[in-house]
A and B are shown apart, each in its own frame.
Chain A
Amino acid sequence: MSRYFYYLVILNMLANVVALVPRILIEERVNGVVTSLMIAIIITLIYCLVYTNSMLKFPGQGQPEIIKKYTPKWFASGYLFFIGILYFLGTWFVLLSFIDITKRFINPEMPALYISVLFLSIICLGALMKTEKTLYALEIIMIISLPLITGIFLKAFLNEHISWDAIRIVFTHTIEPPSNTSIGAGAYSLVGFYFISIYNRVLKNRVEGMGVWRIVLIGIAGTINIFTSLLVPIGMNGIDGAENYIYPWFSTADALRMEFGFIERVLYIFLLLYIGISMISATITCHIAMEHVRSVLPEIKWKEVKIVPVMMAILFSLATILGYFFLSQVQVYELAKMFFSLLLFAGAFSCAVLFYAVRRSKQK
């Protein structure tokens, strides 16, 4: 596989382990969350195997082209539009939480509208770039932030104040019925492989299919990632204290201290790195969403400029700003839970559709 595929998978893992996902998991921490995570990882890896291998059967093509070619027109339009909306929703959740995080942790006095416009202008301009260019930007940001973020994760694990007993309590509740929301949230951090739906257009893969050992590698990385996301806040804040925070990870990072350096509070490094990561993550999901939706809309040109993506960017920005002002944090949180659970079924559906497309392509 091309290295960019792994960047995409890792990006999605990183981007989703700090904002909404850990809070959902921590809420379920004594309700069989370990079992839920195991189920989530296994389900997602199966999806990954089916989906990625099906996409790799069509080198150089994106999901819109494949679906349009092998399914009836009414279905293709509806399906692609629906998938596009799902990606927009994913971007929407990331943005809403990061606008809120910025306001809470960095600039409490700054108007939320200003922060939103700032975020959205960068993201929309980025999402309007060519597909391969977003990958180059992704690589640069990943190379800068990945080592630092890994360092912070390690620092958290090696911290002398982390309570391993609190972490053990989580594991004593392993054999309990899993819940739908925690499976959905756990699975969401692993769904980066879906990004291949558009990026397959530009990824030049050297291999025919996705071998089992690659899946296992992704699975191991995902397991470490999601358990870090769940356990470190619990270890730092205690099994009861962990649920007091809306953004458990940022509060955890604020408990870490760097003894030697200009910056003492790890929180700021962590925050600024995560703003970068969430920016590129939002850019990429927004780009995928746009590519899906525009594939079913007619192409309109105005003075040589393709106007449909621009209109989409403006509409999406409006939706984000309205969402921030009209929805409370609690409502966003509840919506996110539903969204994550919905994605589990949407994932099964889109694997099935793609599998059908592969069958059709072989028949022809």
Chain B
Amino acid sequence: MFSFKKSEVERVKPVLEKQFKATEDAQFRTLSLENDQEIELVYIQTVIDNANIHEQFFKPFFEINDVTRYESYLKSLPNFKEFKDEQDTVKEMLHGSVVIFIKDQVYIVGFIHQENSQVLDASVETTILGPQKALSENIYTNLNLIRHRYHKKSLRVEKAPDIGSKSNIQVCILYDEKEAEPKIVDQVKKRLDQANRPIVQSAGELHRALTNRKRRMFPTLLVTERPDRIAYNLSQGKVIIMIEGIPFVLIGPTVFYDFMSSMEDFYQPYWVSKFLIILRYVGLFISLFLPSAYVGIISYNPEVLRIQLAFSIAGSRMPVPYPSYLEVLFMLIMMEMLVEASIRLPKTIGPTATTVGGLILGQAATDAGLVSNIMIIIVAAVAISNFIIPINEMSFAMRVMKYLLLLITTLSGLIGLVLGTVGLIYYLVYLDSFGKPYLKLFTSRQKQHI
């Protein structure tokens, strides 16, 4: 036993020196007392709490003035960790630990400092009446936020292996032991083990690494920034995957309805929230089907509409010199450009772009006879209703889906629209999220049978 312990420092020290000696911000400090007792501290200056290291490590050492007692002082520190092996020590150092050599033993104390631990305002999923704060970029701050919303002893926080062979990002999974199905928790852990990507920077990227399908259209895990949504999903037995440095978490398994629900639904009176949900689905249908229905009806079966309406559309299309699908495509692409531009532009230029774009699209295009007036209304309806979908990822997926439906309708008329819709339903039904059916009506948690 003794011989093994003795080798600890001898094993670790050369490794650390080899790895970090050349790095400017790595520190190797030796402290000694009068009676020749010596300790050595190794740390990376830029990831630890540099302001307090003197207060926490150096000052007590000279005050205690005895190495053995200093050892027990270290053990009493909140983030004290047992030594495992060399590789682990290197990793701990990179994640903000201080490594201390005392006599023959190695101690590791977590002393992390992160600049980005302030809690951000909810900006992606805003609500009127709900909590206004979102997550922070620090995993511990986030845990704190969630624990304060979900006081239950069955809440489990587990550390998953770091993600990304290069970025080595810390990942935690959270679940309520009583509510979550063990099978799903195991599956999440297994998928996290298998996820291999050199660099993971965002929740969406981790989502891509977690699904075994390479090319995916619809989100099968929910990305959220709201602590209240996380707490609600924990109580529903979902598993939360938290990632260091990102103010978003992943929630799984999720079903289609999760992407259509806003936390606002819980904060409004029953009928109001039902109305909002219906509104959202109407929005979804409009943004998906309206452009294709326009093409299908105008170019294939104008007799579907009542005659007055058909005439007024035809009258409005009089100056337009090309078939309806080009008109739709032209306007939709312009609208998408506008949306993309307003996301990427600096905040100060943003309004200019939308005003200019709106003017061109709204008035000039019809005056020039490039598109019909009714088309403008349709594009506006599509653009607005697309943003009604509360979860961003789903709204983007539907944005793309619309073009597939448009393609099949352009090629085969209204029949293509119906077949495309059936195909879309089949595809959504076919998807799985951690073994749970993605789209299924009347899912209730009590009755798991079909």
Contacts and interface: CB of A to CB of B under 8 A. Distances in A.
A110 B304 CA distance: 17
Interface stretch (A118-126, A222-230, A231-239): A118-126
Contacts of A207: none
Interface residues of B, number: 29
A122 B439 CA distance: 18
A2 B439 CA distance: 19
A136 B437 contact: yes
A264 B415 CA distance: 18
Contacts, number: 94
A268 interface: yes
B128 interface: no
B304 A265 contact: yes
A284 B440 CA distance: 17
A125 B301 CA distance: 28
B406 to A, nearest CB: 16
A122 B419 contact: yes
Nearest to A268: B304
A212 interface: no
Interface size class of A (residues with CB under 8 A): 35 or more
B415 A133 contact: no
A95 interface: no
Interface in A334-354: none
Contacts of B412: 107, 110, 114-115, 118
B426 A263 contact: no
A280 interface: yes
B419 A118 contact: yes
B306 A263 contact: yes
A129 B426 contact: yes
A137 interface: yes
Chain B interface main SS type:
helix
User: Of B414, B429, B430, B439, which is in contact with the most chain A CB atoms at under 10 Å from its CB?
Assistant: B429
A136 B422 contact: no
User: Of B300, B301, B419, B441, which is in contact with the most chain A CB atoms at under 10 Å from its CB?
Assistant: B419
Interface in A1-15: 2, 4
A141 interface: yes
A125 B415 contact: no
B356 interface: no
A118 B416 contact: yes
A203 interface: yes
Given A272-B414, A275-B415, A106 B425 contact: no
Interface of A: 2, 4, 102, 106-107, 110, 114-115, 118-119, 122, 125-126, 129, 132-137, 139-141, 143, 202-204, 261-265, 268, 272, 275-276, 279-280, 283
Given A118-B419, A264-B306, A275-B418, 9 more contacts: A106-B301, A118-B416, A125-B426, A126-B426, A134-B429, A140-B429, A262-B306, A264-B305, A272-B414
Interface of B: 300-301, 303-307, 309, 412-416, 418-419, 421-423, 425-426, 429-430, 437, 439-442, 449-450
11 contacts: A106-B300, A107-B301, A107-B413, A122-B419, A125-B426, A133-B437, A137-B429, A139-B441, A263-B305, A264-B307, A280-B422
